[in-house]
Chain A
Amino acid sequence: MKLQRTLRACKFGIVNYFDALNLQERLVSDRKAGNILDTVLSLQHPPTYTLGKRRTDHNLLVSESDLKAMGAELHYTERGGVITFHGPRQAILYPIVSLREIGIGARKYVEGLESVMIEVTSLYGVNVHPGKAGETGVWVGDRKIGAIGVRISSGITSHGLAFNINPDLNYFKHIVPCGILDKGVTSLRTETKMELPEDEVIHEQLIKPFAKIFQFGDIQWKQDGSF
C-alpha cells in the first residue's frame, strides 16, 4: 500500500517578492535535507515585475525608474520563463516539492500546474486551455489567464504559478508578457459572468487540485499571519 504523502499549505497575505524569495530558498534547503514536508506557499505580491534566468530585458518596455515611479519593483530571478507582472488580486502558489518523490520531471510538473489552473477556471464556466508548445501557461482564447515559471534544484521545486483573479491588467501594458507578442492577458473577473468569492477561497480552490493532481493524501493547512 502506498504511503500517504502530506502537503503542507501555508497561507499568507501580501508578501514582498524579495521576502518570498528568501523564504523559498530556506524551504528548498530544508526540503533537500528532508527536514520538512512538501510545502506550498499561497500568497499575493505588491506590484512587482520579474525577469527569468534568461534576463530578457528587451521585454520591459519602460525604464526601471519609471517602474519605481508607478510604485512597482523589479526583480531578476533564477526561474524559467521570461518577464511577467505580479500584483494584488493575482493568486500566487509557490510549491516547494520533491519531484523525485512524486516521480516526475519538469515537463509533467508544469503540465500539472497548468491542469490546476484549468480546473479552477473551469469552475467559473470559462472555456480555458493549456498553451501550445512554447506557450506554457493557461489561456482563454489568445489571452493568458495564468502563468508559470519554475526553478528545479536537485529535484526540489520553487517559484510556481500566478493566476489572475482580478489584478489591474494595465500593469501588463509595460511589458511584452512572457515575451510573446500579439497575445493579451486576461483575468477570471474579465472572463466569467459568475460572482467571485473572496480571493482566499480561490487560493484554496487552487491548492486542492494541486494536492489531488500530485497525489497528496492530505493537506495540512497553516495560516501564517503577517510575514
Chain B
Amino acid sequence: MAFKLWASSTANALRISYNGTRTPLLALSISRCFSSVIDGFKYTPSHEWVKHEGSVATIGITDHAQDHLGEVVFVDLPEPGACFAKGGSFGAVESVKATSDINCPISGEVVEVNTNLCENPALINKSPYEDGWMIKVKPGDPSELDSLMGSKDYTKFCEEEDAAH
C-alpha cells in the first residue's frame, strides 16, 4: 500500500511566539499545511479513515484530524459488540481541554478495540494510520464505503477546508 507524504506539517514551525498577547489567530495567512493520507483508505468529511480488508474494517482519525486536535490525552472507546449506524458517534478523544466526538464512517458491529490507546492515547498523534487505529468493525453494509472519499478527494477536501478562513 503506497504511503504518500504530501508535506510535513508546518503548523508548529510557524507558530508565532508571543509575550502576553496573541496575533489574531485567523489573520495568519500561513502556507497550507499538508497532512499525510494513505492511498487505498477511504475518508469522511469529519476526518475519519477506513481500511477495508475482507470482512473487517479498521477505523481511526486522520493525520489532518490529529494535527488540528493537538495532543490527545484521553480516548473513550466502545466495547466489542456495540453496533453503530453510519455517522453515529462511537467514542471521543480529549485534547487541549476539548472532547471531540468521533463518528463511525460506516454502519457495523465493533469486533475489536485498540486498548493500547487507554495507556497511550498519544499514539493517535504519533501514528494515526497504524498504531493509533481505534476500532475494527464488521461492516453492516459494505456498499456504504463507495460513498466515502478516496485519498485524492480527501486531500482536496482538507485543502479547501483549511483555505476557508
Query: A130 — nearest CB in chain B belongs to which residue?
Result: B22
Residues of A contacting B67 in the complex (Cβ-Cβ under 8 angstroms): 105, 107
Are B74 and A107 in touch, CB under 8 angstroms? no
Residues of B contacting A137 in the complex (Cβ-Cβ under 8 angstroms): 97
Greatest chain A CB density within 10 A among B97, B161, B162 is at B97
Assess whether A41 is interfacial by the CB under 8 Å rule.
no
Assess whether A40 is interfacial by the CB under 8 Å rule.
no
Q: How many residues of A are counted as interface, with CB atoms below 8 angstroms from the partner's CB atoms?
A: 46
With A53-B99, A106-B100, A110-B98 as contacts: A212 and B24 at CB distance below 8 Å: yes
Assess whether A52 is interfacial by the CB under 8 Å rule.
yes
Are B20 and A106 in touch, CB under 8 angstroms? no
CA distance A149 to B96 in the complex (A): 8
Are B94 and A110 in touch, CB under 8 angstroms? no
Are B95 and A80 in touch, CB under 8 angstroms? yes
Are B99 and A78 in touch, CB under 8 angstroms? yes
CA distance A80 to B147 in the complex (A): 32
Residues of A contacting B22 in the complex (Cβ-Cβ under 8 angstroms): 111, 114-115, 118, 130
With A106-B68, A107-B68, A107-B69 as contacts: A118 and B99 at CB distance below 8 Å: no
With A103-B161, A105-B69, A106-B96 as contacts: A152 and B24 at CB distance below 8 Å: no
Q: Which of the candidate stretches A61-69, A121-129, A194-202 sits at the interface with the other chain?
A: A121-129
Assess whether A215 is interfacial by the CB under 8 Å rule.
yes
Greatest chain B CB density within 10 A among A102, A118, A130, A152 is at A152
A81 to chain B, nearest CB (A): 4
Assess whether A108 is interfacial by the CB under 8 Å rule.
yes
Assess whether A100 is interfacial by the CB under 8 Å rule.
yes
Query: B74 — nearest CB in chain A belongs to which residue?
Result: A54
Interface residues of B in 54-73 (CB under 8 A from A): 65, 67-71, 73
Assess whether A133 is interfacial by the CB under 8 Å rule.
yes
Q: How many residues of B are counted as interface, with CB atoms below 8 angstroms from the partner's CB atoms?
A: 34
Are A153 and B94 in touch, CB under 8 angstroms? no
Interface residues of B in 69-111 (CB under 8 A from A): 69-71, 73-74, 76, 89, 92, 94-101, 103
Residues of B contacting A151 in the complex (Cβ-Cβ under 8 angstroms): 98-99, 101
> How would you classify the secondary structure of chain A's contact residues: helix, strand, loop or mixed?
mixed
Interface residues of B in 10-42 (CB under 8 A from A): 18-22, 24-26
Which residue in B46, B71, B97, B162 is a CB contact (below 8 Å) of A155?
A: B46
Residues of B contacting A129 in the complex (Cβ-Cβ under 8 angstroms): 18-20
Residues of A contacting B74 in the complex (Cβ-Cβ under 8 angstroms): 53-54
Are A106 and B69 in touch, CB under 8 angstroms? yes
Interface residues of B in 107-165 (CB under 8 A from A): 161-165
CA distance A110 to B96 in the complex (A): 7
Greatest chain B CB density within 10 A among A105, A109, A115, A155 is at A105
Residues of B contacting A13 in the complex (Cβ-Cβ under 8 angstroms): none
Q: What is B's interface to A at a CB cutoff of 8 Å?
A: 18-22, 24-26, 46, 65, 67-71, 73-74, 76, 89, 92, 94-101, 103, 161-165
Q: What is A's interface to B at a CB cutoff of 8 Å?
A: 52-54, 78-81, 100-112, 114-115, 118-119, 122, 127-130, 133-134, 136-137, 147-155, 212-215
Q: Which 7 A-B pairs have the closest CB atoms?
A: A105-B68, A103-B164, A107-B70, A150-B98, A103-B165, A81-B97, A106-B98
Known: A106-B96, A110-B96, A137-B97. 15 other contacts (CB 8 A): A53-B76, A54-B74, A78-B99, A79-B97, A101-B164, A102-B165, A103-B161, A103-B165, A104-B26, A107-B96, A110-B70, A148-B98, A150-B98, A152-B100, A154-B101
